[in-house]
Chains A and B, each alone.
Chain A
Amino acid sequence: MSAPRQAPPGPFRQLPLEEELARRGAWLIRLRWVAAAALFTGMLIAWLGADLPVPFLAIGAVGVGMLGYNVLFRLILRNLRSREVSTVAWGRFASAQFLTDWVALIVLVHLTGGIASPLLYFFVFHAILASILLPPLSAYSHAAFGVLLVGLLAAVEGTGLLPHRPMTGFEDVDHDVRQLVIVRLAFFATTILFATHLAGSIARRLWARTVELLRMKDSVEAAFHRTRTLYDIARAVNSTLDQSQVLQTIVARTTVAMDGKACAIRLLDDDGTRLHLSAAYGLSDTYLQKGDVDPAKSPVDQSAMMGWAVQVPDITEATALQYPDEARREGIRSVVVAPMLLRGTAIGVLRLYTARRREFTDEDIGFLMAIASQGAVAIENARAYRHLEELEEAKAKFVFLVLHELKTPVASVRSSLSILEEGFLDEVDPRKKALVARMGRRMAGLQDLLRDLMELGSMKGRLPGRAKGSVDLGAVVRGVAERLQFEAERKHITMDIVVPEGPVVLTGDADDLDKVVGNLVENAVKYTPDGGQVAVTLVADQDRARLVCRDTGIGIGEEAQAHVFDDFFRANNAKQFAEGTGLGLSLVKRLVDLYHGDITVASTVGQGTTFTVVLPME
């Protein structure tokens, strides 16, 4: 796929027709260089070989004159091109070139024998060129002007006002015999007019075809561009469920594809009374702040809401808008309003604005309707997705509630068991006591499971840094160590805590960080056999805090290390060593991710495990 086509700069787009006329103007100028070169070459040949009695100086002067005015035309051409003028201007430019050429040619004819001049035939070329490059009427006028010029020259030379300068060696026309001159002129006029007619009718046919082709090319390009736009919009609609993003794409692409000034989408609000702005491109903030549109006060929107596209070619002449003055101040001249139809019902409108007066074609309107319906589909997709998301959220909330309510009965079973275990009912012998204690531990495990799952659940959909505050990670580590001191002593595990003197301040929530540190250190104590060591080191390193939790525990196998942060994952050796939910480390990982931190594990089975957490500091 090629890059999307950009609209050309400037308020006007160069039509191929005008470009074609410019090309022809340039062609005429190039031909004149050749003509001038031919003139000088002819003079050279005449001077060297034929020894003709030609007024070299005068003819040379005309040649230089030709070069001069050709340079002038060249400059004018460049100027016209840069201003991107209309076809009429190009017609005038061509006429001016021909008239100047006629004058130069008649001077040459006079210098080379008047009506008997061999250069007289050159008028035919010009007549043909004019009929190719100019509309028929201008071409005939030019031909008639040429005949008139030659007739005048003959008359002037015949009456002796100007000397007739026959060329020696050439057949001359005796000006005294008037009939001869008239016959000669008549033949000349017939030739010129006939040539004009012939060339003109052929050129006209070609010109008509050219214009047709150019128009087709233009419309094919426009159609292609619009198809591309529709395709791009369809792709945008399917690639995201973010409604505002899709609508923004639509208004931007539509403005460019339609060569407009701006585009906006307004959607009907929930109670169906007002059109609320949902996306805009190319409009000033002032204009956008004009407020919601009430279709009842805006006939164009009213029509659009009934399913019809409406255009206002000139808002200065129309009263169909709710805010005409604002639109005028914004520099808007024409507006099209297309309905956004979803299964036949309008859910909003798409408006396209242009700065110039413009009549929109049926194709334009059809294109806008197609885009508007794409927008409607996007909106429906986004709404459907939002609905599903709400359902999901409700489901998650329900699960959360149920988990919450399971806590009490689980706790009550657990306490029932401990009443039995403690012998409050009747004496229990050690065998029974051990069995009941084991059941109690299992119930405690279920309590942990509920707690961990609820914590995971409460993480869902939480935005990073929800609870903003400054937390001293050092204090968190000391708190956790204090809490676990008893359990460590029970297992004769030495706890080695190294925390910097000053505070290690992070932005976040103390509970979150307590969970991170607590789970890691708790695990270290849990999975370290009696008499082992647990070392927790906190280092503040410029903008990051690094927490290292090292133990001499059972270790994690290489294969298991890859899954250690997965939900419910428990390594085999861990399962056999102690109770656990398999959710602690996945909770830690999610929290660390939430804080844009990083957690890694290094371990050797039988030797110990090291978790390293790096968290960004304030």
Chain B
Amino acid sequence: MEGKARIFMVDDDTDLVDIVRSVLEAAGYEFMSASSATEALDIVNSVAPDLIILDVMMEDLVAGFRVVNNLRNFEAFPQNKKYEGVPILMMTSIQQQTRMKFSQDAGSRLLPIDAFLEKPVKPRILLEKIAELLRR
């Protein structure tokens, strides 16, 4: 499964997306990306990802949270129930920008994501984290 898994990265930093693409493709993953929350929600169905890497601050301060809410709030978005098992890895540098404590809140009802990494992230750490999340 690992080698064929499809990773969907949502980040507006094109340099970062390209470097992560190189890293992940070299590790044998399939890689697709979107540069905004709006675009991500538009194409998520056609991408059908196995794992999502998500930035927070894109077109606005909380764009990433909007994506999380769409994919995890099944009451409001029942059509997204199919993403219940798709892990979300939040990768951002804004930790202190919000009052949210990412490391602790990750996985809680408040922030229903599966893992959190603060930028800058070492490629090795990223690969380990992805492998761990996909094993679950």
Question: Which has the most chain B C-beta neighbours within 10 Å: A435, A442, A572, A576?
Answer: A572
Residue interface bits A388-427, CB-to-B below 8 A is 1, else 0:
0000000000000000000000000000000000000000
Residue interface bits B1-23, CB-to-A below 8 A is 1, else 0:
00000000000101100110000
- Judge if B73 is at the interface, Cβ distance under 8 Å: no
- Judge if B118 is at the interface, Cβ distance under 8 Å: no
Residue on B nearest A441 in the bound complex, by CB: B15
Question: Considering the chains assembled together, what is the distance between the CA atoms of A439 and B16 in angstroms?
Answer: 10
A438 partner, pick from B15, B35, B36, B59, beta carbons under 8 A: B15
Q: What range describes how many residues of B lie at the interface?
A: under 10
Shortest beta-carbon distance, B93 to chain A, in Å? 13
Contact residues in B for A576 (Cβ distance below 8 Å): 14, 35
Residue on A nearest B59 in the bound complex, by CB: A572
Question: Considering the chains assembled together, what is the distance between the CA atoms of A575 and B16 in angstroms?
Answer: 13
Question: Considering the chains assembled together, what is the distance between the CA atoms of A439 and B14 in angstroms?
Answer: 12
**Could you give 13 example pairs across A and B, Cβ below 8 Å?**
A435-B19, A438-B15, A438-B18, A439-B15, A442-B15, A572-B35, A572-B36, A572-B59, A575-B12, A575-B14, A575-B35, A576-B14, A576-B35
Closest 10 CB pairs of A and B: A442-B15, A438-B15, A575-B12, A572-B36, A576-B14, A576-B35, A572-B35, A575-B35, A572-B59, A575-B14
Shortest beta-carbon distance, A573 to chain B, in Å? 11
Question: Considering the chains assembled together, what is the distance between the CA atoms of A435 and B22 in angstroms?
Answer: 11
Contact residues in B for A572 (Cβ distance below 8 Å): 35-36, 59
Shortest beta-carbon distance, B46 to chain A, in Å? 20
A435-B19, A572-B35 are known; give 11 further A-B pairs, CB within 8 A.
Answer: A438-B15, A438-B18, A439-B15, A442-B15, A572-B36, A572-B59, A575-B12, A575-B14, A575-B35, A576-B14, A576-B35
Contact residues in A for B36 (Cβ distance below 8 Å): 572
Residue on B nearest A431 in the bound complex, by CB: B22
Shortest beta-carbon distance, B66 to chain A, in Å? 16
Contact residues in A for B19 (Cβ distance below 8 Å): 435
Contact residues in A for B12 (Cβ distance below 8 Å): 575
Residue interface bits B27-57, CB-to-A below 8 A is 1, else 0:
0000000011000000000000000000000
Residue on A nearest B36 in the bound complex, by CB: A572
Chain A at the B interface: SS class? helix
Shortest beta-carbon distance, B11 to chain A, in Å? 12
Question: Considering the chains assembled together, what is the distance between the CA atoms of A439 and B59 in angstroms?
Answer: 23
CB under 8 Å from chain B, chain A span 187-201: none
Contact residues in A for B14 (Cβ distance below 8 Å): 575-576
Residue on A nearest B16 in the bound complex, by CB: A442
Question: Considering the chains assembled together, what is the distance between the CA atoms of A435 and B19 in angstroms?
Answer: 9
Shortest beta-carbon distance, B32 to chain A, in Å? 16
Question: Considering the chains assembled together, what is the distance between the CA atoms of A502 and B113 in angstroms?
Answer: 65
Question: Considering the chains assembled together, what is the distance between the CA atoms of A576 and B58 in angstroms?
Answer: 13
Shortest beta-carbon distance, A413 to chain B, in Å? 13
Question: Considering the chains assembled together, what is the distance between the CA atoms of A435 and B36 in angstroms?
Answer: 24
Shortest beta-carbon distance, A410 to chain B, in Å? 15
Contact residues in B for A575 (Cβ distance below 8 Å): 12, 14, 35
Shortest beta-carbon distance, B82 to chain A, in Å? 28
Shortest beta-carbon distance, B49 to chain A, in Å? 22
Question: Considering the chains assembled together, what is the distance between the CA atoms of A439 and B35 in angstroms?
Answer: 19
Residue on B nearest A438 in the bound complex, by CB: B15
Residue on A nearest B19 in the bound complex, by CB: A435
Shortest beta-carbon distance, A450 to chain B, in Å? 17
Question: Considering the chains assembled together, what is the distance between the CA atoms of A576 and B59 in angstroms?
Answer: 13
Contact residues in A for B35 (Cβ distance below 8 Å): 572, 575-576
Contact residues in A for B59 (Cβ distance below 8 Å): 572
Question: Considering the chains assembled together, what is the distance between the CA atoms of A576 and B36 in angstroms?
Answer: 12
Contact residues in A for B18 (Cβ distance below 8 Å): 438
Question: Considering the chains assembled together, what is the distance between the CA atoms of A575 and B35 in angstroms?
Answer: 10
Question: Considering the chains assembled together, what is the distance between the CA atoms of A467 and B35 in angstroms?
Answer: 43
Residue interface bits A433-449, CB-to-B below 8 A is 1, else 0:
00100110010000000
Shortest beta-carbon distance, B14 to chain A, in Å? 7
Contact residues in B for A439 (Cβ distance below 8 Å): 15
Question: Considering the chains assembled together, what is the distance between the CA atoms of A576 and B35 in angstroms?
Answer: 9
Shortest beta-carbon distance, B132 to chain A, in Å? 27
Question: Considering the chains assembled together, what is the distance between the CA atoms of A576 and B14 in angstroms?
Answer: 8
Residue on B nearest A439 in the bound complex, by CB: B15
Question: Considering the chains assembled together, what is the distance between the CA atoms of A575 and B15 in angstroms?
Answer: 11
Question: Considering the chains assembled together, what is the distance between the CA atoms of A572 and B35 in angstroms?
Answer: 9
Shortest beta-carbon distance, A288 to chain B, in Å? 54
Residue on B nearest A445 in the bound complex, by CB: B15
Contact residues in B for A435 (Cβ distance below 8 Å): 19
Question: Considering the chains assembled together, what is the distance between the CA atoms of A572 and B36 in angstroms?
Answer: 9
CB under 8 Å from chain B, chain A span 536-577: 572, 575-576
Question: Considering the chains assembled together, what is the distance between the CA atoms of A439 and B15 in angstroms?
Answer: 8
Residue on A nearest B22 in the bound complex, by CB: A435
Question: Considering the chains assembled together, what is the distance between the CA atoms of A575 and B14 in angstroms?
Answer: 9
Shortest beta-carbon distance, B94 to chain A, in Å? 14
Residue interface bits A275-299, CB-to-B below 8 A is 1, else 0:
0000000000000000000000000
Residue interface bits B65-101, CB-to-A below 8 A is 1, else 0:
0000000000000000000000000000000000000
Question: Considering the chains assembled together, what is the distance between the CA atoms of A572 and B15 in angstroms?
Answer: 15
Residue on A nearest B12 in the bound complex, by CB: A575
Question: Considering the chains assembled together, what is the distance between the CA atoms of A576 and B39 in angstroms?
Answer: 14
Shortest beta-carbon distance, A365 to chain B, in Å? 53
Question: Considering the chains assembled together, what is the distance between the CA atoms of A435 and B35 in angstroms?
Answer: 20
Contact residues in A for B15 (Cβ distance below 8 Å): 438-439, 442
Residue on B nearest A442 in the bound complex, by CB: B15
Question: Considering the chains assembled together, what is the distance between the CA atoms of A438 and B12 in angstroms?
Answer: 16
